[in-house]
Amino acid sequence: MAMGIILAGGYSSRAESNKMVLKYKNIEIIRHVIVSMQDYCSKIIVVTGHYHEDTLKVVKDFEKVKVVRNVNYNQGMFNSVKVGVKEIDDDFFITPGDYPLIMKSTYEKILNAKGILRVPTFNNRRGHPLFISKELIGDLLCESDDSNLKEFRNKYVITNVETNDSGILKDIDTVNDYIKLKTERKEDWYCED
């Protein structure tokens, strides 16, 4: 088991609404992310910001979830990363909350791999979630505030974990992404195990 961080603090400006609570198959996008992650995590930190109250209502019934509000969400995603990491004391997964198609088996594959930083790949393309060993928590918290996860990640040896999960690459950034999620055939988005 590891711990988990889900980043849900942004403005969702390109989606023109709180994308975390948009529904896919009658379930809010962020709930899909939690359900995929929860079997492999002892605790999940959801870092909210701009849409704190809306997101809190949607996730508060999950036993393993702790919601933490980043009051400085306007300082960017890496600020929310640090807010979440301050709640962590073990190895952890971290992913933005707008990746509803990540398969459960992807978490298992990453957890069973070796390395202090592990990234799932699909057709040799890196995606989410990122796995970070607890030994890097101090380094991450000392990282410059104008950094980002990719910049931090690239300072270390990365273990790529090949999957058959195209969902690791599918985030919902825009209204068109959401329409595509709802209207395209399932197999256009991801491959089952």
Q: Express each pLDDT in 107-159 by its tens digit.
A: 999 999 999 999 999 999 999 999 999 999 999 999 998 899 999 999 999 99
Q: How far is CA 166 from CA 24, 57, 162, 180, 186, in A?
A: 17, 29, 11, 14, 11
Q: Express each pLDDT in 1-53 by its tens digit.
A: 999 999 998 655 444 568 888 888 889 999 999 999 999 999 999 999 988 99
pLDDT score for 75: 87
pLDDT score for 15: 45
Q: Which two tokens stand for residue 90?
A: 């073990």
Mean residue pLDDT across the chain:
89
pLDDT score for 187: 47
134 SS3 class? helix
Mean pLDDT of the region 57-63 = 94
pLDDT score for 183: 73
Q: How far is CA 2 from CA 91, 130, 154, in A?
A: 5, 12, 21
State the amino acid at position 16 in one-letter form. Answer: E
pTM over the 0.85 mark? yes
pLDDT band at 184, cuts 50/70/90? Answer: low
pLDDT score for 19: 82
What interhelical angle do 29-38 and 104-112 show, nearest 10? 40
192 SS3 class? coil
Q: How many residues does the chain have?
A: 193
Q: Which two tokens stand for residue 61?
A: 């019934």
Tell me: pLDDT of 172 over 90: no
pLDDT score for 104: 96
Residues 6 or more apart whose CB falls under 8 angstroms from that of 83 comprise: 9, 47, 68, 70, 72
Question: CA 109 to CA 168: how far, in whole Å?
Answer: 13
pLDDT band at 180, cuts 50/70/90? Answer: confident
pLDDT score for 189: 44
Mean pLDDT of the region 76-86 = 93
Q: Express each pLDDT in 40-58 by its tens digit.
A: 999 999 999 988 999 999 9
Residues 6 or more apart whose CB falls under 8 angstroms from that of 134 comprise: 88, 89, 90, 91, 92
pLDDT band at 82, cuts 50/70/90? Answer: very high
Tell me: pLDDT of 188 over 70: no
